[in-house]
Structure 1
Amino acid sequence: MKVVKWILIGLVVLVVAVGATFYAILRSLNTDELRGFIEAQAEQATGRKLRLKGPIDLSVSLTPAIVLKDVSFDNADWGSRPELLDVGQVEAQVALMPLLQGRYVIQRVVIENADILLETDKKGEGNWALSTGGAKGGAAGAGSAGGSTASGTPVVPEVGSVEIRDSRLVYRDGATGESLLLNLDSLEVKPDGDQLKVSAEGSYQEAPFELSGRLGGLPILMKGGDLPVQLSGKIAGAEVSADGRITDLKGAATPDIKVQLQAESLDQFDKLAGSSLPPLGPLAFSGRIGLDAGLITVDGMALSLGGSDLAGTLTASLKGARPAVLADLTGAKLDLSDFAKAGAGEKAVSTAPVDQAEQKAADQQAKEARQTETAGGQPYVIPDTPLPLAALKLADAQVKLKLGQLIVDPELTLGDVELALRLENGKLDISKLRAKAFEGQLDGTLSLDAGKSPAPLATKVDVKGLSVGELLKTYAGSQDLETSLDVALDLKGRGDSPRAIASSLNGSSEIVGGEGVINNRILAIVATGLDQILGPLFGGEKETKLNCLVSRFRFENGLAVSQAQLLDSSTFSLAGAGTVNLKNENLDLKFDTRTREAALVSLAIPFVVRGTLADPKPAPDALGAAMKASEFVGGGSNPLAALGEMVSGQGGQAGGGTAAPAATENSCVTALEQTADVPASKTPIGSVKESLDKVLKGDDAQKALDSAKDTLGKGDVKKGLDDVKKGLEGLFKN
């Protein structure tokens, strides 16, 4: 409210100075002699020169009329221009009879073409501050002009109507360089009891306004105290009203005002904001605004903008080293897409089934685009873009937020959102994040400390009942996989970018899915190339029943090590192991497949996925195929296949003879639990370890391996066997 304070100070000083000058003039009707006397008295009182450069016209009566033209008052020595005040013309009528009672009555003042500059230097000193010695001289001068009582107490003149036309007031902050401009086309102030009736037209920061209402009287403006404010009108085309008071006008000027505002669009306030605002609307705001010693409060806030709304309390403190915000807000809906797209048309989302040939062509184009991007020096999916950590150090905050709906973008809407966060000294703690999306419930926490380098991050996320079908329908335009997922993340890392954090991750992840349906078109969506390997296992059906799936990883300094990768359906089972190196995004994953259809047994071959996240390369596993050809995988000696059989219920028993899980349980989870505590020697893994050497010495296996050596090379075969043993051991360890 400094701006309001300085505007009022500027206008009051102008009116009172004019009145005092006129009374000095009335003490002598010889205006030519008075010019020098008045200028000398003003300089003695203020330490600065008052220049009466134009003629002085005087009409003598019981209410004399006085007209001054071309009047200026010098600025401070350090000021940005010579004059603090420059007035084209001042006209006043004063009453003589009240002088007999010791009253000073200015019946009417008209000021035209006034130019007032209020500014501060870099230390915050205002150009309106006058010298101490001048103040003493000013008291004497004022007394000689009838401006004080015998005791020296200043007498506040009684002012009738004041009119200001075609004038302007500029405020410049020397510390920040901020400049504010008030243009007054017209301002009329008239006494109305103990208050002032006000009407004004003009512009503030080039935004037009029309205001009318009431303010406290001139004694309050002069002496300080609580200034009642009751104004209404238009600012930048928006309807606005203010009702309350400004306390301690002479000191800190603290407002306590209920403000109401209605506008058609937010971009009406471009000029007031000093930047381009989005064309969002309609806008409605109401709240009680208070300011006390650098503490700004908004109580009873009700804000609606476009399709969004917020209500509650907001407090901002400007007293500390950093601004601090305290907010407790609720809303029925907050649409972030409105702010991001600024009224742009929403993206159309197709829910029609995807043609397989068209999808494969699109995926091939995406793959080529990724390869081109990789060749151009951008080989990573996880971006290396620096996080805006510096912004976390600019302010402190404590926020509680409850929303019925949070629209992140046209495709993603979160429901029943609850957020509690604290930001202090650059450390962000989200102690509560709850939301519903895609029929699932999310609960999470997050901590990120920008005060340390590299910044440590820790997060826990728990999602229950996420509908994959709804997710794919929204983002892929299909429902080729329908199941419900539970997701659990417990991760820690350090870094100043997403890639740096991913490269240092430690913790675990788990994804568990229950019964559902898989359409063979999903393979074209998941990864180009996998449909060539897995597609035949669906047989001639367009879809197959999903029994269960599990994906578990542990993270060790940026290396994601598979704990379990299981998928079981009514026609085939899939199990995998391996690693994803998040530092270079290299993939080293191995998968084995089993089928229940005898005609497709020859197609159920192992495969590997290598390459990178940006360019995955799935391909048949030549070593695994050679082992299958030699019946290496027969008799349950392949742990992946054996587990797949057990999951599907075909294996009967596994490990120590545990029965297949009941249909009501998640088969994949049960299978992992049943094998978790079985001694290694009694599991298919143990069988592999104990019999691998014997199997390799067999004629059939040796022929198959010789064939593999011709294809891969001896070293690769040995490495492949080692990788199989290591990878499959991890499958049964949690």
Structure 2
Amino acid sequence: MRASFVNPTQLTKLLSSSVKEATGRELAIAGPVSLSVFPTISVKAEQVSLSNATWASNTNMLTLKQIELDVRLMPLLKGSIEIGRIGLLGLQMNLQTNQAGDGNWNLTPPSTEPGKAREPTSSGDTNSSAMFVSYSAIDIVDTQINYQDASQKTKVIQIPKLAIGISDGSSNILMDLKYANYTLGLKGKTSLLRNAIRDWNQSPVKVDLDLGLTLNGKLLAITGVIDKQLQKLPQFQINLNSKSFDLAPLAGSALVAGSAGKFSAVASPQSQEKYFFSDEALPFNVLPVADGIVNINIDQLELPGQAPFTNFKTTLQFKKNRIDANDLSFNVGKGSANVQFSIADLNAPSPKIFSKGLAKGFSVEQLLASTGSSSSVSGGETQLAWNLKGSGLSLHQLVSRANGVVQLSVGKGTVDTQFLNKGGDFVIALLNAINSLYKKTKIKMIWNVVLSLICL
């Protein structure tokens, strides 16, 4: 039944003023608005846009071809808003961070007076659950997210489909996502997400996970439980299992997420070229401050720019502001590594990292061949042991502040001098420093190195 007694123009003004008060942004509805009241209150609007931060490049932070909301009537009469379905079509989001690290998605409205907090809009009731908005189903079709960082580089993420529904007391999730040459899918079920969102920090929450994440067809099974008690950090035990998985796209996503909020690069792009190790800030701030365990068991793990790791296993222990891994192990070809590491003071200006381990059974020939190098290298049996500590936000800071012991043993091998030429003076200087007895011929260089390095 269509509500002819409701003036669409007045409804648009009401929605716009409410959004303006809540976010400080302008909501514009250029297309038609329709309303029906039976069996649910259904609102449909077309050509919707939300204005951007004043410093952002685009006029609008988001635009929508169409939005549909089905609001259930009985819960509304009891003072709560329960949305049966949210439907979004043609959503485009223009996300951006500025030089200060501010994200344009921060929708906190400005205070009316400097230093004075905004007063509650309800009559003295600040309980967030008094007017909680819940939902039963979300359908989002044809979404594009444009992310622009402070260096003006833009990343484009497409989400052809995102659906969240309810069945047999669980939330069913289905998502397809495309980024660069990567295709990501998420499918599975969890405990009711709407209840978890509603009860978070209001009453105890337990969420069971049974999901499958695919990256370019490679499946990562995610199972476990998240337990949130009142006035305590979330506790979780999560298991990640896969036959083969590629971390490259997730690493890129972490760098995007790391730009959120107040997270800026350690140095400008121009200054980064001065250092052998990058001075770009690592995304420490995306690591969760929580209490829990993540068990990882991946038969073959692909890493950006590295040879694949096989039999990758570890248990990550999250202890509030610290993450420990005491049993990380993996193989690369015939070689194996056993590592311990910890990251402490995650949200401090200079996080601390400790690592020690032993890698053996490798050869220079094997490592270069596994990365696809065409250089003529043979032999070079290698063993590496280390015990290091460092602090900082970037690789450059971590290496420059590192202290501890590194012991490297490299056996007899040969390498084409053209390969050394490509490496530049750094490789020559390093070989001169660690082995003054190498024999150089016109074609090949032979070395026999035992190195013990102390970083002061």
1:301 corresponding residue in structure 2: 328
Which of 209, 213, 220 is residue 240 of structure 1 equivalent to? 220
Give yes or no for contact 1:288–1:300 (8 Å, CA) kept in 2. Answer: yes
C-alpha spacing 1:434/1:47, structure 2 compared with 1 (3 Å)? closer
1:421 corresponding residue in structure 2: 387
Alpha-carbon offset, residue 413 of structure 1: 1.9
**1:88 and 2:56 aligned:** no
C-alpha spacing 1:111/1:436, structure 2 compared with 1 (3 Å)? closer
Alpha-carbon offset, residue 280 of structure 1: 4.2
SS in 2 for 1:45: helix
1:308-457 map, 5 Å = 308-317=335-344, 324-329=352-357, 333-341=361-369, 342-344=371-373, 410-414=378-382, 417=383, 419-422=385-388, 426=401, 429-430=404-405, 433=407
1:139 corresponding residue in structure 2: 121
C-alpha spacing 1:251/1:235, structure 2 compared with 1 (3 Å)? farther
- Mapped to 1, the partners of 2:223 and 2:154 lie a distance apart of 27
Give yes or no for contact 1:255–1:291 (8 Å, CA) kept in 2. Answer: no
Alpha-carbon offset, residue 61 of structure 1: 0.9
Alpha-carbon offset, residue 322 of structure 1: 5.4
**Percent of pairs with identical residues:** 16
SS in 2 for 1:105: strand
1:169 corresponding residue in structure 2: 145
Structure 1, unaligned runs of 5 or more: 1-24, 348-408, 438-470, 477-495, 510-524, 529-734
Residue-by-residue CA offset, 1:476-531 (whole Å, 9 max, x unaligned): 9xxxxxxxxxxxxxxxxxxx9559969xx9xxx9xxxxxxxxxxxxxxx9999xxx
Provide TM-score, normalisation by structure 2. 0.61
C-alpha spacing 1:38/1:189, structure 2 compared with 1 (3 Å)? same
- Mapped to 2, the partners of 1:150 and 1:293 lie a distance apart of 28
SS in 1 for 2:91: strand
**1:159 and 2:161 aligned:** no
**1:185 and 2:151 aligned:** no
Alpha-carbon offset, residue 130 of structure 1: 1.5
1:45 corresponding residue in structure 2: 22
C-alpha spacing 1:475/1:79, structure 2 compared with 1 (3 Å)? closer
Give yes or no for contact 1:258–1:288 (8 Å, CA) kept in 2. Answer: no
Alpha-carbon offset, residue 48 of structure 1: 1.8
C-alpha spacing 1:338/1:56, structure 2 compared with 1 (3 Å)? farther
Task: State which drifts further: 41-50 or 307-316.
Answer: 307-316
Give yes or no for contact 2:27–2:48 (8 Å, CA) kept in 1. Answer: yes
Residue-by-residue CA offset, 1:361-403 (whole Å, 9 max, x unaligned): xxxxxxxxxxxxxxxxxxxxxxxxxxxxxxxxxxxxxxxxxxx
Structure 2, unaligned runs of 5 or more: 256-302, 391-399, 416-427, 443-456
1:452 corresponding residue in structure 2: none
1:524-535 map, 5 Å = none
Alpha-carbon offset, residue 201 of structure 1: 0.8
1:231 corresponding residue in structure 2: 211
Give yes or no for contact 1:47–1:130 (8 Å, CA) kept in 2. Answer: yes
1:533-548 map, 5 Å = none
Alpha-carbon offset, residue 74 of structure 1: 1.5
Alpha-carbon offset, residue 69 of structure 1: 0.8
Alpha-carbon offset, residue 296 of structure 1: 4.5
- Mapped to 2, the partners of 1:151 and 1:281 lie a distance apart of 51
Alpha-carbon offset, residue 227 of structure 1: 7.7
- Mapped to 2, the partners of 1:268 and 1:41 lie a distance apart of 38
1:689 corresponding residue in structure 2: none
SS in 1 for 2:9: helix
Give yes or no for contact 1:299–1:312 (8 Å, CA) kept in 2. Answer: yes
- Mapped to 1, the partners of 2:206 and 2:333 lie a distance apart of 35
**1:218 and 2:194 aligned:** yes
The number of aligned residues is 359
Alpha-carbon offset, residue 188 of structure 1: 1.0
- Mapped to 2, the partners of 1:269 and 1:104 lie a distance apart of 36
Residue-by-residue CA offset, 1:208-261 (whole Å, 9 max, x unaligned): 111112345224336645784542131133221333567889999998744334
Greater Rg by CA = 1
Q: Higher strand fraction: Structure 1 or Structure 2?
A: 2
SS in 1 for 2:12: helix
**1:33 and 2:33 aligned:** no
Pick 1 or 2: higher relative contact order, CA cutoff 8 A, min separation 6: 2
Read off the aligned partner of 1:48 and give its amino acid letter. R
2:288 corresponding residue in structure 1: none
1:107 corresponding residue in structure 2: 84
C-alpha spacing 1:27/1:308, structure 2 compared with 1 (3 Å)? farther
Alpha-carbon offset, residue 107 of structure 1: 0.9
- Mapped to 2, the partners of 1:100 and 1:423 lie a distance apart of 60
- Mapped to 1, the partners of 2:312 and 2:156 lie a distance apart of 25
- Mapped to 1, the partners of 2:320 and 2:49 lie a distance apart of 35
Alpha-carbon offset, residue 206 of structure 1: 4.7
Give the alignment's Cα RMSD to 1 decimal.
Answer: 4.9
Give yes or no for contact 1:70–1:89 (8 Å, CA) kept in 2. Answer: yes
Alpha-carbon offset, residue 60 of structure 1: 3.0
Q: Higher helix fraction: Structure 1 or Structure 2?
A: 1
- Mapped to 2, the partners of 1:310 and 1:430 lie a distance apart of 17
SS in 1 for 2:161: strand
- Mapped to 1, the partners of 2:92 and 2:165 lie a distance apart of 22
Give yes or no for contact 2:335–2:361 (8 Å, CA) kept in 1. Answer: yes
Alpha-carbon offset, residue 187 of structure 1: 0.9
Read off the aligned partner of 2:109 and give its amino acid letter. S
Alpha-carbon offset, residue 41 of structure 1: 3.0
SS in 2 for 1:139: coil
